[in-house]
Amino acid sequence: MNILETVSVQCPSCGEVMELQVDCSEGSQELTEDCPVCCKPSTIAITISDKGISSVEILP
Ligand SMILES: [Zn+2]
């Protein structure tokens, strides 16, 4: 598996799709990203398995 994976997440406020780089070596993680369009922060929960990213979920 790649250490760095790119995931696409959709902004829950405006629908913009953002691409994030995830460091799989850090394990499951939560990231907070500001949307480049509407500037609202989104919290993204990323679950990492031994095969890479297993789920990407935007937290409300
Ligand atoms: Zn947005």
pLDDT value of residue 24: 95
Kindly report the pTM of this predicted structure: 0.85
Judge residue 19's burial from the number of C-beta atoms within 10 Å of its C-beta, 0-12 exposed, 13-18 middle, 19 or more buried. exposed
At residue 1, the pLDDT reads: 66
**Per-residue pLDDT at 60:** 80
- C-alpha of residue 46 to centroid of ligand 1, in Å: 19
How is the chain split into domains, by residue range? 4-59
Give me ligand 1 centre to Cα 39, in Å: 6
pLDDT (tens, 9 = 90+) of the chain, 60 residues, equals: 679 999 999 999 999 999 999 999 999 999 999 999 999 999 999 999 998 999 999 998
pLDDT of residue 45: 97
